[in-house]
């Protein structure tokens, strides 16, 4: 299976929203205070339109497998970004695709001179958390920024510099 990676465009929006929402349903995490209810989840191509933000997607042929993004973290200094909306179809998990998407995001964040990358997730997303740990993300005991994702109780940071 050959995987191609590129930045998001508007034609990806509907399929990505479906991947994100179905994953949250799969992990019993489709609730308020998550990206499940964020309007931006339905139009990620416009959510990631700041010059210092980027959303990457993975494809196998014509099939969208998932994506991940880096965005400014509202309410924090301009040295802090957030790894956002990293979701894959079940068939794409465990194949290194998430790792590659995350690396594209972290490399982009470094080029944008961010110093710290923050993320929020759920304890149920054990596979993703394991990947974050292996990459070097460390747990913190408080939320950062103004994400509005009060239901995300696992918080981590990665030092980019």
Number of Cβ atoms within 10 Å of the Cβ of 99: 12
At 124 the three-state DSSP class reads coil
**CA gap 129, 33 in Å, rounded:** 19
Beta bridge pairs of residue 120 = 155
Cβ atoms 83, 107 nearer than 8 A: no
Write the pLDDT tens digit of every residue in 113-138. 999 999 999 888 889 999 999 999 99
Write the pLDDT tens digit of every residue in 4-62. 999 999 999 999 999 999 988 887 776 766 677 677 788 999 999 899 999 999 999 99
**CA gap 96, 48 in Å, rounded:** 23
Instruction: Determine the distance from the C-alpha atom of residue 139 to the mean position of all C-alpha atoms in its chain, rounded to a whole number.
Output: 17
pLDDT at res. 107: 98
pTM for the model stands at 0.93
Cβ partners under 8 Å of residue 4, min gap 6: 58, 59, 60
């Amino acid at each position: 299976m050959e995987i191609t990676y590129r930045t998001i465009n508007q034609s990806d929006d509907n399929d990505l929203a479906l991947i994100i929402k179905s994953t949250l349903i799969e992990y019993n995490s489709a609730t308020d205070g998550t990206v499940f209810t964020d309007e931006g989840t339905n139009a990620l191509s416009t959510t990631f339109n700041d010059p210092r933000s980027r959303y990457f997607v993975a494809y196998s042929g014509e099939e969208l497998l998932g994506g991940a993004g880096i965005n400014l973290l509202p309410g924090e200094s301009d040295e802090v970004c957030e790894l956002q909306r990293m979701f894959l179809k079940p068939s794409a998990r465990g194949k290194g695709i998430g790792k590659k998407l995350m690396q594209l995001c972290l490399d982009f964040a470094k080029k944008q001179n961010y110093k710290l990358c923050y993320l929020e997730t759920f304890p149920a997303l054990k596979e993703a958390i394991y990947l974050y740990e292996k990459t070097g993300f460390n747990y913190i005991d408080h939320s950062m920024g103004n994400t509005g994702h009060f239901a995300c109780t696992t918080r981590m940071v990665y030092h980019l510099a």
